[in-house]
Structure 1
Amino acid sequence: MSDMADYEEKARNAIKAFWGVKDAATKAQIERGVQDVGSRGAVTAGKHLDAFVPLFKDVANGHGLKGLEFHLGRQVPVLPGYFRPTKEWDLIITHRKLLVAVFELKSIGSSFGNNMNNRSEEAIGAAHDFWTAFREGAFGKDVPPPFLGWLMIMRDCTGSTSPVRVKEQHFPVFPEFQGASYAQRCDILCRRLVQEKLYTATALMLTPDEAGKETGEFRQLSDTGSFRRFIATFAGHMTGLAAGARS
């Protein structure tokens, strides 16, 4: 089995784990008599995307650079910002005090309109803050740019894939947003975050309820925003760092 096929199989296992944690978190809240709106209860449990972390570790460890350190959870994946003191990320990878890679993992299972607006603003703002801090030497002087990755898991359902009208009271929106579903809006966001060099790689993984729970099924809407491109870009980044370390 090729490395990419192996990573895609691990991604399907991570999707299954994602759905399992969502269901368990929602059930636990109902049993406690606390129920968040929509699917938010599952997301606020805080563990719904942890299953992707071992996959990223495998990619990082498999491309030549030894002695990597992985910071998440209690290891406090916090970095300094420029417009704010600090920002907590989902996973930080370092190598001998060099910042190697940073990951932000998000999901949306309901309230797609409000959530997409919020996630878009967060993604843009966090990246701008990060690269400004990098420019100002917050992560060291004369160091190579780290990999910055943004991954979105979105429920594949009518609410996320149906066309959505936009308000154009004063000026027209860009044509690609007219009639675009929330999933398509997210895919556009993924592509433009990379085009504008705010993130090194992004990915949107659409996963349906039943098939996602049973087999880890997921799909993407474009090559730029695909999981395959995300992993290939990250692997290339790690290979380049390893080659630089040997030179």
Structure 2
Amino acid sequence: MPEHEGYHESTFVKAVTHWWDPKKKNSKDIATSQGAGRDGNLAGNTMDGFREVIIEHLLAAGVAREDIHSGGQLTAVPANLPSYFRASKNWDVLVCKNSLFKSAGGSLFGEPAAPKLIAAIEFKSQQDSIGNNQNNRMEESIGNATDFWASYENKNFIHLTPRPWLGYLFVGKYEDEQVGKPVEIKQPHFPSDPVFAGGNPEAIQSVTKFQGPSYAERYRIFLERMIAKKYYDGACFITSNERIAADPENYRCFYPALSGAAFIDGLLRHIKAYYPD
């Protein structure tokens, strides 16, 4: 695959269509109230399509419907997990056997009644102001993962083994030409990490500024390092824009290891150990 030439897949086509729909509607209805881009995300349901696709795959893999939880913070049964640095965190999709909500019989701390967390997935999206907001998205995700594993180590999920699967899915509006466009980095105090030098060894020692990786490349670096550090077990990075939003192939994957198909495959490989039939 040529550098920065995205390829198409069908895993999240329906989800991306759903992601665009409220943006289009809200942009027409309230385009001047808070800015079309922000209003397009205020509906609160832009990621529902991704949730539906993931749940479809889980059910097809044999996961019991009662083990899948996706309720928002204000629903009767939110997909909340106990945290370490805060009281709780609402996740986009959870797979949990023997949830307390099921009122499973037996001893809470015994088998088979004890709750068992199998997977948790976080969604993030971004439509506008990539340069201004990307670091905020990354910082939120680092914080959520750090809190998750601290809670896990504190035995808040009861079981320390087997280890739950933590996933991160991101969809953003990127114009195709943005994906490979270098972005300026200022690093006046210490040498830069070589990965951010954008293939320019001299930039590592720069005390002023230099052209580093594009915003999309920075996300790739971020996700690959998060997986390498075991903060996340799987990650997905896909992009779309207005020019392809209405196409049958309405999003692109620029990094095969971070595709929707790879993300679903990693999740299901983990899940099948718990639902072998």
TM-score, length-normalised on structure 1?
0.87
Offset at 1:99? 1.8
Between the aligned residues of both structures, percent identity stands at: 29
Matched ranges for 1:1-247 at <5 A:
8-30=9-31, 34-36=33-35, 39-66=37-64, 67-73=66-72, 74=75, 75-97=77-99, 98-157=116-175, 158-159=177-178, 161-178=180-197, 179-243=212-276
Residues 207 and 216, structure 1, Cα contact 8 Å, conserved in 2: no
Alignment partners' CA distance in 2, 1:101 and 1:34 = 39
Alpha-carbon RMSD:
2.0
Superimposed CA distance per residue, residues 118-161 of structure 1 (whole angstroms, 9 cap, x where no aligned partner): 01101111001001101111111344222211111011214555
Change (3 A) 1:108 1:71: closer
Scaled by the length of structure 2, the TM-score of the pair is 0.78
Q: Give the deviation of 1:44 after TM superposition.
A: 2.6
Q: Is the 8 A contact 2:81 2:90 kept in 1?
A: yes
Greater shift, 125-134 or 204-213, is seen at: 204-213
Query: How far 1:10 moved relative to its partner?
Result: 4.7
Name the SS of the counterpart of 2:10 in structure 1. Answer: helix
Q: Secondary structure at the match of 2:247?
A: helix
CA distance in 2, matches of 1:91, 1:65: 13
Between stretches 214-223 and 18-27, larger displacement belongs to: 214-223
Task: Say if 1:163 and 1:142 are closer, same or farther in 2 by CA, change over 3 A.
Answer: closer
Counterparts of 2:81 and 2:246, CA distance in 1? 34
Q: Which runs of 5+ in 1 are unaligned?
A: 1-7
- Shift of the alpha carbon at 1:70? 2.2
Specify which structure has the higher proportion of helix: 1
Runs of 4+ in 1 over 6 A off after TM superposition: none
Higher mean C-alpha deviation, range 118-127 or range 174-183? 174-183
Paired residue secondary structure (1:144): coil
Q: Distance in 2 between matches of 1:25 and 1:104?
A: 24
Distance in 2 of aligned mates of 1:204 and 1:61? 23
Aligned to 1:4: none
Name the CA distance, whole Å, in 1 between partners of 2:274 and 2:129: 40
The alignment partner of 2:258 has SS state of coil
Distance 1:161 1:39 in 2: 23
Q: Displacement of 1:181 after TM fit?
A: 0.9
Q: CA deviation at 1:222?
A: 2.0
Q: Secondary structure at the match of 1:100?
A: strand
Q: Offset at 1:187?
A: 1.2
Equivalents in 1 of 2:265, 2:47: separation in Å?
Answer: 20
8 A Cα contact 2:70 2:91, kept in partner:
no
In the TM superposition, what is the alpha-carbon distance from 1:40 to its structure 2 partner?
A: 2.0
Q: Which has the larger radius of gyration?
A: 2
In structure 2, do the counterparts of structure 1 residues 239 and 49 end up closer, same or farther at CA, with 3 Å as the change threshold? same
Which has the higher mean CA deviation after the structures are superposed, 167-176 or 127-136?
A: 167-176
What are the superposed Cα offsets for residues 17-38 of structure 1, whole Å, 9 maximum, x if unpaired? 11112212333333xx5223x6
2:69 and 2:78 in contact (8 A); partners too: no
Distance in 2, Cα, partners of 1:195 & 1:85: 28
